[in-house]
Structure 1
Amino acid sequence: MALGVESASGICSARECTEAARYRIDWRNPAIHRARTKTWLACEEHLTYLENYFRYRSFPFEVSAFVVPDQEEPQDH
C-alpha cells in the first residue's frame, strides 16, 4: 500500500506534532471504509494516544515500524 502525501512526509499524524514518525498505523473505520485502509504515522510520544483513539472507536488497526519510502528495499520483479 502506498502512503498518502501526508504520510509520505514522515511526520507524526497527531495534531500539531512536528516530530519524525517511528511507527506506521494502518487502520480503517468499518462503518465507512469496508475495504479501504488508511495510514497514520506516530512518533514515540503519540503512539499510545493514537492507539487509544482507535481502540475507543473499535477501529481495527495494525502498528508496524515506519520506514521512510526512499529507504524501502526494492522488491524483486
Structure 2
Amino acid sequence: MIGADIEGTICSRAQCRAEAVWVIEWRNPRLHAPDRRKQWAACAEHVRYLHDFLAARDFPVSVHAVDAVDAARNAS
C-alpha cells in the first residue's frame, strides 16, 4: 500500500472484502524505528476492531480517512 493510492483498497481484516475508508498507521516499537510506520486499510465496520487490536498491544496507532491520506500524498 505504501506509495500507491489507497482509494479502492480493500479492508485488511481477514475475510473482509469491503472497500477501505480508513487508514490505520502503526508501529511495533520493539521492531520498528520511530520514523517507520506500517499501514492497514479498514472499512467502516472494522476500523475500531483493528485499532483496538493494535492499541491492546501498546503499539502507537493513529487513524486517518483514506481521502486525507491520498490528498496528502498527491500534494507532496
Q: TM-score range by the shorter chain?
A: 0.7 to 0.9
- Superposed CA RMSD: 2.7
Larger Rg: 1
1:48 alignment counterpart: 48
Residues 54-73 of structure 1: CA distance to partner in whole angstroms, max 9, x if unpaired? 11100001100013x8x647
After TM superposition, what 4+ stretches of structure 1 lie above 3 angstroms from structure 2?
71-74
Identity, in percent, stands at 36
Gaps of at least 5 residues in structure 2 are none
TM-score, normalised with respect to structure 2: 0.77
How many residue pairs match? The answer is 73
Change (3 A) 1:28 1:54: same
Gaps of at least 5 residues in structure 1 are none
TM-score, normalised with respect to structure 1: 0.76
